[in-house]
Amino acid sequence: MKNYFKSIFLGLFVLIGAFSCDPLKDIRDQIGNGVAPTIIDYELLEGDYELSCNPNVVRFGSFSDQNLPQDDTCGLAQIINQKFFGTDGDIMNATYKFYTGPIRGTVDTVSALKWKSEYNAWEISPVYTFTVTEDAHVHEYTLTDADYASQGESYPNFDSRGNTQEDVDQKIANILNSQTEFEIKEGDVVKVNYATYPANTYPSPRNYKASL
């Protein structure tokens, strides 16, 4: 009988310990930070508009000049936040219905949303075009292993056997749009440090200017 109660006591002790202490907590907390940002394409379904807190969006199943998708309270992000959870730097290209008036009627429109980890929410965010420039930079960014992986690279570099300089420039633009180290504004120039294979195949660092 004594051994029976001893076994129960030990079992409860192990069970309590399992719930009160997770020796892998620090590692688990870091896993999310290592997930490469992604670009997601999503087209709103008919039922998605019913999630809006704007009764006109619910009624007509579309946004308009009077019911803007950029609205901070009842806009596009308010719908997307109820459907999807993101990771640092994720970009969602959301296609939705926008009523333009009696002539053109409703047209499909795309807006980019960016996941803001500090708010745990999606926000409509501009997606910039980046062009090579010799202007002085205001930001500097060095590509990470996760950045290369997010663009389909198997190693922490751009392999020139599968990428032209134009391909590299476009992938860097994708990365700059998804990075969260600093906020980019129109006209900003970012100095980007990146690696290629074979080494020095393409010029690095390289300055890129943001424009809408």
Q: What confidence tens digit (pLDDT) does each residue in 153-164 have?
A: 899 999 999 999
Residue that has been written with the tokens 């949303």 in this structure: 113
pLDDT digits (tens, 9 = 90+) for 110-138: 888 989 888 999 998 777 899 999 999 99
10 Å Cβ neighbour count for 67? Answer: 20
Domains of the chain: which residue ranges?
36-124, 129-211
Any idea what DSSP says for residue 204? S
- pLDDT for 109 beyond 50: yes
Residue 95: alpha-carbon gap to chain centroid: 16
At 90 the pLDDT is 87
User: Considering only CA atoms, which of 194, 161, 164 is closest in space to residue 179?
Assistant: 194
Phi and psi torsions of 120, nearest 5°: 50, 50
Residues 170 and 163: beta-carbon distance below 8 Å? no
10 Å Cβ neighbour count for 167? Answer: 14
Question: Under DSSP, is residue 176 helix (H, G, I), strand (E, B) or coil?
Answer: helix
pLDDT digits (tens, 9 = 90+) for 9-22: 545 544 544 444 44
| DSSP-assigned states of every residue in 24-77 | THHHHHHHGGGSPP-EEEEE--GGGGGG-S-HHHHHHTSEESSS-TT-TTTSHH
Average pLDDT over residues 75-98: 92
pLDDT digits (tens, 9 = 90+) for 27-46: 334 333 444 567 788 999 99
Rounded CA-CA distance 13/68 in Å is 57
Peptide bond into 203 cis (omega under 30): no
Question: Under DSSP, is residue 139 helix (H, G, I), strand (E, B) or coil?
Answer: strand
